[in-house]
A and B are shown apart, each in its own frame.
Chain A
Amino acid sequence: MHDHLDELEAQSIYIFREAYRRFENLAMLYSIGKDSTTMIHLARKAFFGKIPFPLVHIDTTYKYPEMIEYRDRMAKEWQADLIVGRNEAAIAAGMGPEQGRLQCCAKLKTEGLTQIIEKYDFNGLFLGIRRDEEGSRAKERVFSPRDKNFEWPYKDQPPELWDQFNTNFEPGTHIRVHPILGWTELNIWEYIKRENIEICPLYFARDGKRFRSLGCMPCTGPINSTATTVDEIIEELKTIKDPERAGRAQDQENAYAMQKLRAKGYM
């Protein structure tokens, strides 16, 4: 008898295969975090060990060095085609969180991503977002279109039912595909444990602190924790009440920060 992790896994594999069948030019957004690392593991299951599309990492230059080291090591191990994108113009112009956190996210992440999508002409992008992360992500579809201007028409999304997805769209649209939309933070950790997936060392406690969500150095804070193993993290999550992204400063800018960022194409 298989359990709920098997069911989530089978569902994610189904989504990967559906997107791979339907779209010519796919890529996977790789943030280095536990969710997108789990997503890569699921892609390898779907495609019998291969990752038949490139991974894209949008580098803001504000990432922790441990993240970059881990990224390059894993990409080699997976034999993945890794594309690193940077909004060079904005970086050269000195964009940083001191100019406004949301402005910085929009420039270095959203615009950096836009540039890569245009350069490589990707028409579909896998993203490791989950419904339990925050309110606007809770309303996402598995196959979610973005128009030419990258905008998310969240007020009028087409229905999606019984694992039948909308796969035909206007030219110029690109599709965001969310293979782990229905997973929870706890599911991810249980799965990391079961599958023995290697994740970025910043997730484990050092000197009484660990990262629960990874991002840019100026806008990401660690939580107080003594959890140094996956088992200890799972135990910790069962009692924790703060939201997962509490350490991510851009979310807290105002009540609708994430919705506004995401309507314009943020991850």
Chain B
Amino acid sequence: MNQHETLKIVIVGHVDHGKSTLIGRLFYDTGSIPEVRYQEIAATCKAQGREFEFAYLMDALEEERDQNITIDTASTFFKTEKRPYVIIDAPGHKQFLKNMITGASSADAAILLVDGAEGVREQTKRHAYVLSLLGIRQVVVTVNKLDMVGYDRKVFGQVENDIRAFLHSVGITPSHVIPVSAREGENMANRLGHTPWYSGPTVLEALDTFENVHADRTLPLRFPVQDVYKWDDKRIYVGRIESGEIRKGDEVIFLPSGKITRVKSVEKWQKPDLFSAGAGESIGITTEDELFVERGEVVARRDNAPVKTREIKASIFWLADQPFLAGKTYTLKLATAEVTATAVAIEERLDSSSLEVTERHAKELLSTEVGNVVFALKNDIAADLYSENIALGRFVVEDGTLISGGGIVRSLSSDTGTSAQTIRLDEKFIINDDGSFVDLTRERGEIDFYVSSSFLDYLGAGNRILFRLRDPGQVGPVALMAFEHDLNFVFTRSRDRVDLILYKFGKEPELADFERGGL
């Protein structure tokens, strides 16, 4: 292990539970506060007639000093004997959740802070849930302000039970739950003797047990194309390897285009004859064949490729002031791909602090709310389940121009590599002895239509055509085709299927018309 490798920690919890004080204490106890900074804060506090406030260290922005709250995420650095740390102080106010998420999204580990006197509160739970969504698994809980309750073991025990129960429900097992007083310094870097009933580690000892989170070389190869440089007679696909390894000579597939080639070279500046590169490295590759693929494609191995998809089911968290709306179109950014996506349904709307489903098939999600959402994508993209590959399994949602939410992929509808099936609507294919009839019941993937002039002439002559549909999902493409060619239709449910009659002129077909085998 490299001793200079910095561990990134985010500190989260309810507002006023003492985050900034806890951080100031960690700095003070590790001797990481520059003397001039200490003097500056001491002078400011004295001028304001207050006791020394550790919180001022992190809250460097002026408004924060005046209001005593952390507005945006900030980072500061301290060291233990084992290694350096960077602390990302995440704001506790609900209105600043987007800043908390910005800070937490890059963390290796988290300290979840709970006020011992107040116990588990709304933001405690919301932040814990966000940690689980962000995939942060290394969590230590500190139960703070125990000096205010006389270091009462029972008070601590109650809070510990509550927080463990909640964390369990979101899939987090804290490495330790530690009784502390950040103000007095108990169990932070040192044991002061107020908690003889506690035998676990101090906060610093607990932090030293955590590990850096790295891109995983052992997972299947995922190399999202970030850009294509056409320089020096070479066509270089550049990007960062998100997982796995790529080697010269490997046979690879680009998805979603499905193009297959071999890696001709792995490119880095001043590194000729590079044989391979692995997860976390920013590289370039050239290929044996000229492919003309663009940013957003993902390079993988054929036998272990991401899913090519046009539908994503995801858990999303919403951060913007304007609500997230069912039926509205957004832009999803997943790895280097960018795709237009319609929120087809908000299947469940959740209260992010209690995790209760508050509504099924909701119309909207408000800021800080969480929902399980289905997106229909305008184009294919390559993605993975979040549980299988984090980098290809998470995305941000842009509303207009700004990042407004984030999501993790829960399930993908895969049509195993085939894009929309084009159905030829041609007179000779549909008019049989027993009438005219289009059977779509065996079309499992997406469909669209090629409409011939003879087909339109047939309808224009007053004829009607029966369509047998596999499921209601096929009504959409038929309706679109009807709209484009100025046709009418009626549909009916027949057992578990849908039947539909297409016509141009004349009276609306009746139920009895569906009973016939063909028209």
Contact = CB atoms under 8 A, between A and B. Distances in A.
Interface of A: 2-4, 6-7, 9-11, 13-14, 17-18, 20-21, 44-50, 131-132, 134-136, 138-139, 141, 154-155, 157-162, 164, 166, 168-170, 182, 184, 186-187, 190, 241-243, 246, 255-256, 259-260
A84 to B, nearest CB: 27
Interface in B227-266: 227, 229, 231-232, 236, 238-240
B360 interface: no
Interface stretch (B56-64, B459-467, B470-478): B56-64
Contact of B72 (A3, A44, A154, A182): A154
Interface stretch (B169-177, B394-402, B422-430, B435-443): B394-402
A48 B394 contact: no
B370 to A, nearest CB: 15
A45 B270 CA distance: 8
A4 B62 contact: no
Nearest to A20: B227
Most chain B beta carbons < 10 A, residue from A45, A132, A139, A243: A139
A151 to B, nearest CB: 15
Contact of A162 (B40, B105, B226, B404): B105
Given A4-B4, A21-B295, A45-B269, A14 B282 contact: yes
Nearest to A16: B282
Contacts of A158: 98, 402-403
Interface string B397-435: 010111110100000000000000000000000000000
Contacts, number: 150
What class of interface size applies to chain B in its complex with A?
A: 35 or more
B61 A255 contact: no
B36 A243 contact: yes
Contacts of B71: 155
Given A242-B35, A255-B40, A159 B60 contact: no
B403 A160 contact: yes
Nearest to B97: A159
Nearest to A190: B4
A48 B2 contact: no
Interface string B6-30: 1000000000000000000000000
Chain A contact surface mostly:
loop
Interface stretch (B74-82, B160-168, B191-199, B484-492): B74-82
B102 interface: yes
Interface of B: 2, 4-6, 31, 34-37, 40, 44, 60-63, 71-77, 84, 86, 98-99, 101-102, 105-106, 212, 214, 226-227, 229, 231-232, 236, 238-240, 267-270, 278, 280-282, 284, 295, 319, 333, 391, 394-396, 398, 400-404, 406
A31 B40 CA distance: 28
A21 B76 contact: no
Nearest to A260: B62
B244 to A, nearest CB: 14
Chain B contact surface mostly:
mixed
A161 B104 CA distance: 9
Contact of B105 (A7, A44, A45, A161): A161
Contacts of A243: 34, 36-37
Contact of A48 (B37, B74, B284, B403): B284
Contact of B406 (A135, A161, A170): A161
Given A48-B284, A168-B401, A246-B36, A17 B227 contact: yes
Contacts of B2: 3-4
11 contacts: A2-B278, A7-B280, A17-B238, A131-B74, A131-B75, A159-B99, A159-B406, A161-B106, A190-B4, A243-B37, A259-B61
Contacts of B401: 166, 168-170
B284 A159 contact: no
B5 A136 contact: no
Contacts of A260: 62
A255 B402 contact: no
B31 A13 contact: no
Given A131-B75, A243-B36, A256-B62, 6 more contacts: A3-B2, A17-B238, A49-B269, A160-B403, A164-B333, A184-B6
Contact of B281 (A10, A20, A136, A168): A10
Given A14-B240, A184-B84, A132 B403 contact: no
Contacts of A138: 60, 74-76
A18 B226 contact: yes
Contacts of B36: 242-243, 246
A171 B365 CA distance: 29
Contact of B240 (A10, A131, A169): A10
Given A7-B280, A10-B280, A135 B74 contact: yes
B280 A6 contact: yes
A134 to B, nearest CB: 7
Contact of A6 (B31, B102, B281): B281
The 4 A-B residue pairs with the shortest CB-CB distance, nearest first, are: A135-B60, A161-B105, A168-B401, A13-B282
Contacts of A20: 227
A2 B280 contact: yes
Contacts of B40: 255
B404 to A, nearest CB: 8
